[in-house]
Amino acid sequence: MPDANLARSRPELLRGVVHPWHHDIFGHMNVRHYAPFFDDASFFMYTALNIPIAWMTGEFGVHVVSAKAETNFIKELVAGDGFVIDGAVRRLGSRSAVFHMRMIHAETGVLHATYDLTEVFFDPKTRKSAPMPDPVRDRLLPHLVED
């Protein structure tokens, strides 16, 4: 039965399955394979939160760059396991946002890994960080969760 604490409404970003070639010598998905799944999920975060990247760049002249990523491995996954990655906003700064993603077993609801991604708002013309536009912040705020 799915864990009720994990069933809170967060946008689903990605679904995947573990294949035998993801295994290491210990018979479970090796840590190197979590990163691509979480990275792919991160590309859908803004779309899922109604913040199209084209809108940010076109309207405000900024986009985001990944500055830091931290993965926490909680429970092993093995070949045949299906999983869902969902996400929420963990922190909002003046020039950055931290997103919290969870890799959850698709059938059982068990939490397998978490991923915290710090993204910095970036002005491609100046090649420097930029303030987060207020309309972007307004769209992120409803998805803010507690640590």
Residue 4 burial class via C-beta count within 10 angstroms: exposed 0-12, middle 13-18, buried 19 and up: exposed
- What parts of the chain have a pLDDT lower than 70? 1-9, 147
Q: 3-state DSSP: the chain helix, strand, coil percent, rounded to 5? A: 25, 40, 35
Give the per-residue pLDDT at 9: 64
DSSP track, 13-66: EEEEE--GGGB-TTSSB-GGGHHHHHHHHHTTHHHHTT--HHHIIIIIS-EEEE
- In order of their start, the domains of the chain are 9-143 (3.10.129.10)
Give the global pTM: 0.89
pLDDT at position 147 is 62
What local confidence, expressed as pLDDT, does residue 110 receive? 98
User: Tell me: the pLDDT tens digits for 31-58?
Assistant: 999 999 999 999 999 999 999 999 999 9
pLDDT value, residue 43: 93
